[in-house]
Structure 1
Amino acid sequence: MNSLFTALRYRSVACLLLALLGLPAAVAAQTTTIEGVVMDAKTKEKLPYVTVAVPQAGVGANTDLDGHYTLRVPAPYTSVVFNYLGYRTVTKTIVAGVPQELNVQLTPTAALLNEVVVKGQKQPRYRNKENPAVALIRQVIDNKEKNRPESYDYVEYDKYEKMTFAFSNLSEKFKNKKIFRNYQFLFEKQDSTAAGGVNILPVYMEEKLAREYYRKNPEKRKTVALGTKQVQFDKHFIDNEGLSTYFNRMYQDIDIYANNVSLLGNQLLSPIANNSPTFYQFYITDTLKQQTPQLIELSFTPRAKGDMLFNGKLYVTLDGNYAVQQAVLSVDKRINLNFVKSLNARLDFAENPDKRYHLSKSALAIDFGVSQNKGSGFYGERTVSYQHYEINKPEGPEVYDGPAQIAADSTDHRPDAFWRRNRPDSLTQVEKAIYTNVDTLQTIKSFRRTLEIFTFVLSGYKSFGPFEIGPSNTFYSFNPVEGFRLRLGGRTTPELSKRIYFETYSAYGFKDERWKYFLSSTYSLNNKSVYTFPQNFIRASFQRDTKIPGQELEFVQEDNFLLSFKRGVNDKWLYNDVYRLDYVHEFNNHFSYTLGVKKWQQAPAGGLYFRNVEDDRPNPVANLSTTEAMLSLRWAPKETFYQGKLYRVPIIGPYPVFTARLTTGLKGVLGGEYNYKNVALNATKRFYLSQLGHADVTVEGGYIFGQVPFPLLDIHRANQTYSYQLNSYNLMNFLEFSSDHYASFFIDQNFNGFFFNKLPLIKQLKLREVASLKLLYGGIRDQNNPTLHPELYQFLQDAQGQPTTFALGRQPYAEASVGVANIFKLFRLDIVKRLTYLDNPNISEWGLRGRFKVDF
């Protein structure tokens, strides 16, 4: 790794010396660099896509979204032409050999007309057939594989990223608040075309530099991080690493040659996707003959304005490659994206020696806000520059081997000279001030109080430096066994230790008058946080608490206040004493294993009982003790996370996740009463279906070897709360079904508003359609059937002697739902229908379930 970084460093130094010593003089002697802004002479509005050219030399450029251009004019030419449809053409004279700024104002074309007779006629219907624009886009589609970097055997380049964020469209009233009286320098004036308003408050900036490597066969991608720099917020309030991960998830790289472009966790169909002519309308709007090679300006727009599609322009080469030389993308306000007021992107491609093109620069700007048209918002912009391209020059095998991402030493402590040397463009004055201004902003007491409240509301934890108290949603809850329940807990932070972590809580039930508590201690074995990938830690814990058999919640505590509200009879609980010792080891290829030992004592509570039959008489059992050894294997290829200092949440992507678990019961070890083996397999994957949204599919199966009482069977995940749980059966009662072998299939389909977006009035609400289907096949073998073996714990019955726990038969348990998501941009509501086993007692055939979820 050190030799690799040293090679890269010396290569950068060599390039720098060449640039400093010889290159500028040669370029200066041959070309004149001019740059500037083009705007409307009357409105002062900046004009995008203006043609700036030297026709005699066959060179030209276009202004970007902000009206800015840069053009290198060959010597000895001194005339530059500015041309834009609807405006008078302007010719400007420049001084040869001297870099200069040339700002131009264009005047709209106006002419006095004689009397004009206007005859209306129906606009011809748009058709793909015999449409030259569609024929052209099909040529682009047919040639896109050879125009992608992956068409080369080897590719490498430097990748520089810059991301900035600011509060935008701030009113003068906000700016002049008392707390900002002495901090007016924090605010900046920005044109409304960029951020939706005049006053902005820059609050975040991040820079990254990396060397990217690609090998086609065998396929391998490698990223070597060379430098990172970001605004640092007070770590008591905001997790800087998690913030960076979140922003980078929102602003992903745009691959125009892919069928779908990932943005804000959604996928938008690319204008050069294989089936794009089905969803887009294409028009040839200009021919740029002054360019070399000549370009065709190809405009496109969605056929249905509300679909997850782009508006924009493609500039396509007419040299036989049909490559994209530039792409300008935006989205319609009616598109079903939450909180997005505007989205604009621009991709620029540079020519390779073989006359093909590679991406040289991309810019993505998004203006966020609760309201589409007014009010303050949040403006973010990410620019990426690709430099020092090397094509088909293989490196040694040591470059491609190992993990996909590695970091050079001290990447986050690079001096300012490093960044000045490696930035493609120098920072603006506003950008230079962000790092220091945010430090100043955090000294304002009212701002710190706001951060503290904001952090507590989102995370539920109140920080006291080395220790945090929370989560707040578990402070109070209630259930039929404990009555009112109060809980107080917390956890240590890296300020106490970066390698040792403690977590604890204590709770008291006022009905059962019993204390519950939990304590865990975790030690990191790789000198990293136990929440940081790759994990390598050992954890010991003890828990004495209540639990509902068969209820498994993901990322939610069972004593969450909102889950206290349940339907039907909910009095079957357990008192658990659980001792655990676990070792977790993750590898860089995202394979991991967990080894664990668990001593578990279960005692029935409330309406739950353990009872077998002896001499034809019921025999109550006070508790059940088991000792288990466990091995869990997990493989999640290319998995990414929202990574924080005290949390790690997987980001759902297109790659599958496989899990295998083997649990072995050890009779006679630490009081264990049974020998058995429980094998479970699980596979889950998100399928992206382009305009039809995405489907989350889970397949699971399990098998128990040996004879066990029903509490040790697979008690299927039921849900009697009013929240919609993705991985549970929402109309199954707790403890209703148990199996010693089973297979299940879940599918949850989110259509992302594909149908609602086509309905008048409804489409204004940006609602999204969802549907799900859950199937469960299973059963109990004779050796585990308590009817055939009275010595086993008997299935539960109600007060009238009617059974309430069952084994699945030939018919699967099935339930389906349809619903509406994105209600008020944060709520999902499903109508759930139970399809089978409708004769079981106390069941609900229909149900209305809700779920809070915020998406873009």
Structure 2
Amino acid sequence: MVYTFSYKKLYLFLFFIFGTVTACAQRTVVSGSVVDARTKKPIPFASVAFPGTTIGLTTNSDGKFSLISVKAQSRLQASFIGYKTNIISITPGATQEITIRLTPEAQELDEVVVKGAKRTRYTNKNNPAVELIRKVIENKEKNQPENYNYVEYKTYDKMQFSFLNVSTKIPEKKFFRKYKFIFDNQDSTTVPGKRLLPFYLNEKVSQTYYRKNPKDTRTVVLGEKGVNFGAAFDTEGIGGYFKHMYAEVNIYDNNIFLLTNMFLSPIAGASPTFYKFFITDTITTEKNEKLVELSFTPRNTNDMLFEGMIYITLDGNYAVQRAVLNINKNINLNFVKSMRVDLDFEQNPDGRYHLKRSNTMADFGLNKDKKGGLFGIRTLTFDNYIINKPLPDTAYRHESSLVSDEAKHRSDDFWRQNRLDTLSVAESKVYKNIDSLTNMPSYRRMVDIASVFLFGYKGFGKFEVGPASTFYSFNPVEGFRLRVGGRTTPEFSKRLMFETYGAYGFNDERWKFFGSATYSLAGKNKLIYKFPQHYLRASFQRDVKIPGLELDFIREDNFLLSFKRGVNDKYLYNDFYNFDYVREFENHFSYNLGFTKWTQEPAGGLYFNTLTPAGLVNDHLLTTSELSLNLRYAPHEEFYQGKIYRTPVITKYPILSLRYTRGVKGLFGGEYNYDKLVGRVDKHLFLSVFGYADIGLEAGQIFGKVPYPLLVIHRANQTFAYNINSYNLMNFMEFVSDHYQSVSIDQHFYGFFFNKIPLFKKLKWREVVSFKALYGGLRDENNPVLHSDLYEFPKDENGQPVTYSLGKTPYVEGSVGIENIFKFIRVDLVKRFNYLDNPNVAEWGVRARISFDF
């Protein structure tokens, strides 16, 4: 390889270096604390700013601050109610740490007599700060960007994640020496007092077009660039999850979504109920704008609320000109040591404001007292803002939401011309460093080992073995069960995937196995399970299953689910021949056309008996052939995308599904004609300071005469784990229906009540309540008591029925629980309210669940 160099390039290089040094020389960074001049105690929520600018903030609860200006600043001002404003000189263009002392405004007296002085009680009544915030609330609608008829603007989106305060001793250790080039790339200037080691970087430039009537928004991605961690990780999916945590902040919304939680905005309609407001300063900007600095703090520091300050214009618009949003250190939030959002607005020609820049920073760690951890920064910069300039209709028409290949492979010149922000020196090296890292054999081996613990699979290039959690399990029918399986990887083929497993039960001495082939129709280089999916899938499975058992994201032969309560001996051997055609669209509507041949054989204590004039007859096999159509609509759905799997990211939008199944008698041995219709709605409802609720509504109907294995066997749970989608005190096969309606509510209060109780407040426990009701029944044509040609409902060894139909009264159960125990355990006390006369049922139960939440 030959490298060429020229004097022109040398001059450009020197110009770049000189420009960088000059820019850094202008940068003024001041950190420190504000204290009472007499008592030396810190003053929380004091205002600190560079005079004559809008660059400022409030100190945290410990009186500390850190302030940055890209320009040289020579003075710093601090103020707080009841204290004299103090303006001090600082060194322009330098990084420095200082202590600012404020003197109380009260006049000195010769003699002071204290007689039980009481602290002034905060109240909203006759409070000028509250009156001002109500003015802001009244004018919210007209200050929203959507109030314009036409808007277009350019956005530069930069997302960065870094390791925080990595010890300088680590790269000197033998194991890490070969990775020293990674550890050398640390940044100590972006965030004062913190050393950042960036490992993830994603940049995106887009153009947005908005029209009010008819309402439409179109965003065109002009370019996107990001690191690539190799085949073991879906980097695009990781980036999507990061940006989901760092969602775009609109302070004019009543609720602000961050870190999978909803925070009440300080200018929400209900904000005076949950926040305290203080007028802390007035400012005149360089453009002669008059602003009021309004500081705010939560009434309860553990709730999902911000603290900080906002600058309000006094031009009659009462618009937000700047905002600083921090989270309190006492907030009931896991793994987040600190978080800050800076919003800067720019004035339009009509005098109103639009968001110019949004910067969100969060410090993550398992322990808030530790200095290490992760640090994430997302910066959004908006430019070329044009208002009320109509364009042709084609400018607003929806196009593909997917990023084009052209946008993913932009040149360096494109990024130099289109970045609306700059990369730090450390950020500019991330792409090359990660690329070098992924090409190292030692890194690949390390990732291969880690994937066994994280995902349960051991990779062998084009094939991987797993999941490890299913290698061994046990149940009453199979006894000890051993299983081994695997699947092909994208290295084998991006369009074709094979999956298989084999299992053996030492008690029933039977082999079980599974095999499937999936072929993508989405495109040559498109991963099979990547949105939007378009594939054909054929599979065969012979295995044992508990009727009515449905699990959340885990397999039935997971070792931990081997432990169950009560009598658990009724199983089915199933043979499934499946063929599916799946098609997803970019608007998140999808359909699935399927064919299933299903052969059931009773196992354990289960049997298929019919009563004939000659006596009981035991059928060994039940065969059905089904054609199905499944429709699903999940608007704005997002995924965390893995190599060959994906997990939905929770959003505020509902998920609608409708499934129609037709059983065809005589088709491939099918024994019954019937129709089955099931509809479901799922909604994640954000309730701001009151947490959130997961609501599920479902209804189903079977048309036709069928035996009980083809009825709806309602989802029961006899494990000791709390299952969100099942009835946790219902026994397996306890209830069957041919028509039903159900409702499920799982309410998480996120500590709203516990935050007021001292002990619970310290433990950061959170309260949770659930309610489930099931209406259902059985028509006479499907009642085996009235039709001897239908299978009898199962009975136990004493001849007592174990399967029933629901009467006029719905099945109801509810629970109260505590979650966030040790940050990941949920424990519920569950109560069953009716049908308590059925055999082997429990009125009360304790169930546990493991989940990781912020």
Q: Would the TM-score normalized by the shorter structure come out above 0.5?
A: yes
Indicate how the Cα distance of structure 1 residues 559 and 720 shifts in structure 2: closer, same or farther if over 3 A, else same.
Answer: same
Which letter does structure 2 place at the counterpart of 1:294? K
Alignment partner for residue 560 of structure 2, among 555, 559, 562?
562
Which stretch shows the higher mean deviation, 711-720 or 651-660?
651-660
Alignment partner for residue 758 of structure 2, among 754, 757, 760?
760
Corresponding residue for residue 353 of structure 1: 349
Would you say the 8 A contact 2:717–2:731 is kept in 1? Answer: yes
Which stretch shows the higher mean deviation, 244-253 or 127-136?
244-253
Would you say the 8 A contact 2:133–2:267 is kept in 1? Answer: yes
Corresponding residue for residue 194 of structure 1: 191
Would you say the 8 A contact 1:195–1:379 is kept in 2? Answer: no
2:487 paired with 1:496 = no
2:28 paired with 1:37 = yes
Matches within 5 A, 1:785-800: 785-800=783-798
Corresponding residue for residue 156 of structure 2: 160
Matches within 5 A, 1:692-711: 692-711=690-709
Corresponding residue for residue 13 of structure 2: none
2:472 paired with 1:456 = no
Taking the aligned partners of 1:478 and 1:244, their CA distance within structure 2 comes to 39
Would you say the 8 A contact 2:749–2:766 is kept in 1? Answer: yes
1:116 shift after superposition: 6.9
Indicate how the Cα distance of structure 1 residues 442 and 826 shifts in structure 2: closer, same or farther if over 3 A, else same.
Answer: same
Matches within 5 A, 1:355-434: 355-403=351-399, 405-434=401-430
Corresponding residue for residue 243 of structure 1: 238
Identical amino acids, percent of aligned pairs? 53
Would you say the 8 A contact 1:88–1:106 is kept in 2? Answer: no
Corresponding residue for residue 832 of structure 1: 830
Would you say the 8 A contact 2:716–2:731 is kept in 1? Answer: yes
Corresponding residue for residue 96 of structure 1: none
Alignment partner for residue 606 of structure 1, among 604, 607, 615?
604
> Could you say what secondary structure the match of 1:194 adopts?
coil
Would you say the 8 A contact 2:71–2:93 is kept in 1? Answer: no
Deviation readout 1:109-156 (Å, 9 max, x if unpaired): 689998875665322110001000000000000101111111112222
Q: Which runs of 5+ in 1 are unaligned?
A: 1-31, 55-59, 73-78, 94-99
1:843 shift after superposition: 1.1
Which letter does structure 2 place at the counterpart of 1:353? P
Matches within 5 A, 1:292-691: 292-403=288-399, 405-442=401-438, 448-527=444-523, 528-615=526-613, 617-691=615-689
Indicate how the Cα distance of structure 1 residues 405 and 133 shifts in structure 2: closer, same or farther if over 3 A, else same.
Answer: same
Would you say the 8 A contact 1:724–1:851 is kept in 2? Answer: yes
Indicate how the Cα distance of structure 1 residues 40 and 330 shifts in structure 2: closer, same or farther if over 3 A, else same.
Answer: closer
1:593 shift after superposition: 1.1
Corresponding residue for residue 745 of structure 1: 743
Which letter does structure 2 place at the counterpart of 1:194? V
Which letter does structure 1 place at the counterpart of 2:303? D
Which letter does structure 2 place at the counterpart of 1:62? I
Which letter does structure 2 place at the counterpart of 1:575? Y
> Could you say what secondary structure the match of 1:405 adopts?
coil
Deviation readout 1:747-781 (Å, 9 max, x if unpaired): 00000111111110221221111110110011111
Taking the aligned partners of 2:248 and 2:510, their CA distance within structure 1 comes to 54
Deviation readout 1:314-361 (Å, 9 max, x if unpaired): 001000000001000101111111100110110000011111111110
> Could you say what secondary structure the match of 1:533 adopts?
coil
2:52 paired with 1:62 = no
Taking the aligned partners of 2:102 and 2:272, their CA distance within structure 1 comes to 37
Taking the aligned partners of 1:42 and 1:710, their CA distance within structure 2 comes to 72
> Could you say what secondary structure the match of 2:668 adopts?
coil
Indicate how the Cα distance of structure 1 residues 606 and 196 shifts in structure 2: closer, same or farther if over 3 A, else same.
Answer: farther
> Could you say what secondary structure the match of 1:170 adopts?
coil
Would you say the 8 A contact 2:31–2:66 is kept in 1? Answer: no
1:41 shift after superposition: 9.3
Would you say the 8 A contact 1:260–1:268 is kept in 2? Answer: yes
Corresponding residue for residue 844 of structure 2: 846
Taking the aligned partners of 2:745 and 2:144, their CA distance within structure 1 comes to 34
Taking the aligned partners of 1:168 and 1:413, their CA distance within structure 2 comes to 30
Which letter does structure 1 place at the counterpart of 2:396? Y
Indicate how the Cα distance of structure 1 residues 802 and 605 shifts in structure 2: closer, same or farther if over 3 A, else same.
Answer: same
Indicate how the Cα distance of structure 1 residues 675 and 289 shifts in structure 2: closer, same or farther if over 3 A, else same.
Answer: same
Would you say the 8 A contact 1:681–1:702 is kept in 2? Answer: yes
Taking the aligned partners of 2:752 and 2:189, their CA distance within structure 1 comes to 32
Taking the aligned partners of 1:105 and 1:749, their CA distance within structure 2 comes to 46
Would you say the 8 A contact 2:187–2:426 is kept in 1? Answer: no
Deviation readout 1:215-236 (Å, 9 max, x if unpaired): 2223222221111111111223
Indicate how the Cα distance of structure 1 residues 533 and 108 shifts in structure 2: closer, same or farther if over 3 A, else same.
Answer: closer
Would you say the 8 A contact 2:231–2:643 is kept in 1? Answer: no
Corresponding residue for residue 21 of structure 1: none
Which stretch shows the higher mean deviation, 399-408 or 139-148?
399-408
**Aligned Cα root-mean-square deviation (Å):** 2.7
1:306 shift after superposition: 0.6
> Could you say what secondary structure the match of 2:28 adopts?
strand
Taking the aligned partners of 2:392 and 2:71, their CA distance within structure 1 comes to 38
Matches within 5 A, 1:723-742: 723-742=721-740
Corresponding pairs, count: 804
2:223 paired with 1:232 = no
Taking the aligned partners of 1:106 and 1:334, their CA distance within structure 2 comes to 26
Which letter does structure 1 place at the counterpart of 2:55? N
Which letter does structure 1 place at the counterpart of 2:836? L
1:53 shift after superposition: 5.1
Corresponding residue for residue 18 of structure 1: none
Indicate how the Cα distance of structure 1 residues 645 and 48 shifts in structure 2: closer, same or farther if over 3 A, else same.
Answer: farther
> Could you say what secondary structure the match of 2:665 adopts?
coil
Taking the aligned partners of 1:408 and 1:627, their CA distance within structure 2 comes to 42
Which letter does structure 2 place at the counterpart of 1:512? D
Which stretch shows the higher mean deviation, 684-693 or 304-313?
684-693
Indicate how the Cα distance of structure 1 residues 37 and 509 shifts in structure 2: closer, same or farther if over 3 A, else same.
Answer: same
Q: TM-score, normalised by structure 2?
A: 0.90
Indicate how the Cα distance of structure 1 residues 174 and 715 shifts in structure 2: closer, same or farther if over 3 A, else same.
Answer: same
Which letter does structure 2 place at the counterpart of 1:792? L
Indicate how the Cα distance of structure 1 residues 637 and 92 shifts in structure 2: closer, same or farther if over 3 A, else same.
Answer: closer
Which letter does structure 2 place at the counterpart of 1:667? K
Which stretch shows the higher mean deviation, 119-128 or 619-628?
119-128
1:89 shift after superposition: 3.6
1:452 shift after superposition: 3.2
Q: Which runs of 5+ in 2 are unaligned?
A: 1-22, 35-41, 58-64
1:51 shift after superposition: 4.1
Taking the aligned partners of 1:323 and 1:408, their CA distance within structure 2 comes to 38
Which letter does structure 2 place at the counterpart of 1:283? F
2:279 paired with 1:253 = no
Deviation readout 1:443-477 (Å, 9 max, x if unpaired): 66665554333322121112222212111111111
Taking the aligned partners of 2:230 and 2:214, their CA distance within structure 1 comes to 44
Corresponding residue for residue 144 of structure 1: 140
Which stretch shows the higher mean deviation, 250-259 or 549-558?
549-558
1:587 shift after superposition: 1.5
Corresponding residue for residue 804 of structure 1: 802
Would you say the 8 A contact 1:143–1:321 is kept in 2? Answer: yes
Would you say the 8 A contact 1:48–1:63 is kept in 2? Answer: no
Corresponding residue for residue 269 of structure 2: 274
Taking the aligned partners of 1:624 and 1:442, their CA distance within structure 2 comes to 53
> Could you say what secondary structure the match of 1:677 adopts?
strand
Indicate how the Cα distance of structure 1 residues 366 and 117 shifts in structure 2: closer, same or farther if over 3 A, else same.
Answer: farther
